[in-house]
Structure 1
Amino acid sequence: MTIPQRPRGLPGGLRWIVVTLFVVAAGALAARPLLRPNLTARQIRQQLLMELRPITLKNCTLRRFGSPNDGGYLMCENLLGSAKSAYSYGIGPTDDWGCEISQTYGLTVHQYDCFSPPAAACPSGRSIFHDECIGPRRAMIESRIFDTLKSQISKNGDAGRTLVVKIDVEGAELASLMATPDRVLDRIDQLAMEIHGADRWFLELVRKLKRTFHVVHLHFNNQACTVLKSSPLPAWAYQVLLVNKRIGVLDPTKPAPALPNPLDAPDYAQGHDCQVPGPIEE
C-alpha cells in the first residue's frame, strides 16, 4: 500500500480521524489482557520482531502475486489449490493481487473497500466489488459501511469454505482481526497482509494470529522507514505471509530464511529500501 502522507478521502481529514478513533477504541477493548505495563516501547518492538521471525516450511514454493512493487505479495503458490474463494481488503484503485489469484486459480475474488473502489473489474478472472470496509463490528461511519470478516464471509455463502485472503487496510486490521474468532481464521489457508503499527496492540495481534498461522515471510514497506524511531524494526509498516498450520509443514532441519527474499521488491521503486539483512536472530 501507499503510506498516506496526509488524510485523504473525507473533507478536513475526517477519513483518518474517524477510522483511527474507530480502530483504536475497538482495539483497546479487544486486545485485553495487556502486556506487562513496565515494558518499554523498544522492548515491545523487540518482542514483536521475534514474533515476526519467518520459519521454513517443507512444502512451500514462494511466488510473487500482484504488482511488481506496492501491492505485490509473496505466497506459497503450491498451497493455494484448495482455496474455494478469495477475499481482497483494500483495493484503491487497482487489485492486481486479487485479479491474478482469480485468473490463476479460477476463484471468485471478493473485493472490499468503502473508500476507493477499483477503477475497473479484473480483465481476467471473476471479481465482485463490495462497497464496504472490514471492521470489528457492523457500523455506519460517515455514510460508509463497516462489517466483520465473519459476517462478510457468511453473506457471500463462504462460511466453512477454504479461503485465501489479502488485507491492506491502513491500520483497521488491528481491531478487525482481534475481533475475529479463531474458528473463522482457521478457514483461511493463507493470509497475506500489511500491518501498520509496532506497539503493544500489534504485538498482541501477531500473537493471536500465530495461534492459527505460521509466519512464513516478512517484508518491510520502504515508504514507512523510521529506523531511528522504530528500532530494532526498520519500518513501522510491514507485509507478512501467514500460512495456516493445517497445511504448512515445518522443516526443522532448515535454518530460518534469510531476508529479504529474492522475490521481494521495494514498495516504492525509487525509494531507499530498509530491510532486516539475513535471518532474524534472537
Structure 2
Amino acid sequence: MKIPFGLHRRIPRVRRVLEMLASATTERDALREDLKAALRHIEVIQADLAGQKSVAAPRYPYVVAIPDQALGAVALRMLSLLRPMDVVGKKLIRKGRPNDGGYLMIDSGLDGVVAYSLGINDDVSWDLDMAALGCQIYQYDHTIDALPKKHPNFHWYRTGIAAQPSADGVLQPLGDLIARNGHAGRRDLILKMDIEGYEWEVFDSMEPSTLAQFSQISMEMHTLALAPHDLQAKIASVLEKLYASHQPVHVHANNHGYFGIIGGVPIPDTLEVTYVRRTDHQFTDCKRIFPTEQDMPCRKDVPDFFLGALGALPAPTVTEPAGTSVSKAVHGNS
C-alpha cells in the first residue's frame, strides 16, 4: 500500500510519541511498584510501633521531670519527714501477699489486736495474715460489692473513709467509726490504708488523739511527685503531723506509678510507708539501702525503684506540738 506523502512525514513523530508513551508507562509501573513497596514498609513500621506500644506502655513506668525549685524544696522536706529509722530490738516481717498488697511491719504488738483495713479492692491477703494472728479486722471500702474472701474475723462495711461524713452516709471519718465500734481510747490498734490519694484529707482532719491510738500504720501514699503546689503543701503538713507521733521505719516505692524528678529531687509518686508510735520504742540510725532484700516490686515485670540510703537524709527540723518530744524520740536514741 502506498502511504500518502503527508502521513509518511508524520511517522517518525508518531514513533517518538509511541516510544515516549511506552517509556512513561514503564516508569509509571515502576513507580507503582515502588509505591507498593513503600506502603508495605510503612505497614511493617506501623505494626512494629504498635507492638512496641503494646509492650512499652504497660511495661515501664513513666518518669516525670518538673524543673520547679519551689516544688523541689518541698519534695526534699517530704523525703526528710519520711526518713526511716530502725527499731531497737525489733525486726521487720512481711504481712500480705508477695509483690503488691504486702507490707513490712515490725514484729511487735500484732497478736490478737484490732486492725483497721481501709481500701480492699480485690485483695485481703494482709487481712488474712492479721486474722491468722487472732486479730479482728474492721474493713472499709465503698467501691466493692463483696469481699473477695471471707473470714470469721472480718467485719466489712460498704463505707468509704473521708474527712467529713457525706450526706448519704456512705463516707465517714475514721474517728467516728472507731468510736462506733467501741474502740475509743484503745491504744493497740493497727492501721492499713490504701485509699488512692484520699489519705491526705483523712489525716489532715484526723484528731491527734485518734492518730495516737495506732501502734503501727502501714499505708500507701499517693501523688508525692505529681502534686501541684497547694496539694504538695498539704502533703508536707500531713507528713509533719504523722512525724510528730509516729516514726517511719520502712519505705518502699510502688513501681506501678511515676517516678519524679521534682526541682532536681528524685521522688516516687507512690510510696508504701510503715510507721510505729514513737512512745512505744527506741530508735537507731538506719543504714539499709532501699529497696531492701525483704522488699518485692509491686509490679513483677518491672525493676523496683532504687531509693538508696534514705536513712542518711538529714533529720527534719520540726516544731514540736505541745506534749510531744520528737527530738528526744528520734535523736536521743540514735
Q: TM-score range by the shorter chain?
A: 0.7 to 0.9
Q: What SS does the aligned partner of 1:207 have?
A: helix
* Aligned partners of 1:260 and 1:278 also within 8 Å: no
Aligned to 1:225: 258
Residue 130 (structure 1) aligned with residue 131 (structure 2): no
Instruction: State which structure, 1 or 2, has the greater radius of gyration over its C-alpha atoms.
Output: 2
* Aligned partners of 1:225 and 1:274 also within 8 Å: no
RMSD of Structure 2 on Structure 1 (CA): 2.2
* Aligned partners of 2:291 and 2:305 also within 8 Å: no
* Aligned partners of 1:168 and 1:194 also within 8 Å: yes
- Aligned residue runs from structure 1 range 15-164, under 5 A: 40-81=70-111, 84-104=113-133, 106-123=134-151, 126-140=153-167, 145-161=170-186, 162-164=188-190
Call closer, same or farther: CA 1:152–1:44 in 2, change over 3 Å: same
Q: Which runs of 5+ in 2 are unaligned?
A: 1-56, 58-67, 225-231, 314-334
Within the candidate set 195, 205, 223, 1:179 is matched to 205
* Aligned partners of 1:49 and 1:232 also within 8 Å: no
- Aligned residue runs from structure 1 range 259-278, under 5 A: 259-278=290-309
Call closer, same or farther: CA 1:118–1:257 in 2, change over 3 Å: farther
The superposition leaves residues 119-155 of structure 1 with CA deviations (integer Å, 9 ceiling, x where unpaired) of: 43435x5101110011101114xx6711111001111
Q: For residue 174 of structure 2, what is the amino acid of its counterpart?
A: L
Query: TM-score normalised to the size of structure 1?
Result: 0.78
Q: What SS does the aligned partner of 1:227 have?
A: strand
Q: What SS does the aligned partner of 1:139 have?
A: coil
Could you tell me how far apart the structure 1 residues matched to 2:146 and 2:255 are? 24
Shift of 1:220: 0.7
Call closer, same or farther: CA 1:279–1:177 in 2, change over 3 Å: closer
* Aligned partners of 1:93 and 1:117 also within 8 Å: no
Q: For residue 165 of structure 1, what is the amino acid of its counterpart?
A: L
Q: Which runs of 5+ in 1 are unaligned?
A: 6-37
The superposition leaves residues 27-58 of structure 1 with CA deviations (integer Å, 9 ceiling, x where unpaired) of: xxxxxxxxxxx970111111111111101110
Could you tell me how far apart the structure 1 residues matched to 2:72 and 2:140 are? 34
* Aligned partners of 1:92 and 1:118 also within 8 Å: no
Residue 165 (structure 1) aligned with residue 194 (structure 2): no
Q: What SS does the aligned partner of 1:152 have?
A: helix
Query: TM-score normalised to the size of structure 2?
Result: 0.67
Shift of 1:255: 4.1
The superposition leaves residues 197-229 of structure 1 with CA deviations (integer Å, 9 ceiling, x where unpaired) of: 222221111110011101101111101132345
The superposition leaves residues 246-269 of structure 1 with CA deviations (integer Å, 9 ceiling, x where unpaired) of: 212113xx4443321211111111
Q: For residue 268 of structure 1, what is the amino acid of its counterpart?
A: R
Could you tell me how far apart the structure 2 residues matched to 1:184 and 1:148 are? 11
Indicate the larger mover: 224-233 or 111-120.
224-233
Indicate the structure with greater helix content: 2
Shift of 1:233: 3.3
Q: For residue 112 of structure 1, what is the amino acid of its counterpart?
A: Y
Q: For residue 297 of structure 2, what is the amino acid of its counterpart?
A: P
Q: What SS does the aligned partner of 2:268 have?
A: coil
Could you tell me how far apart the structure 2 residues matched to 1:231 and 1:146 are? 38
Q: What SS does the aligned partner of 1:40 have?
A: helix
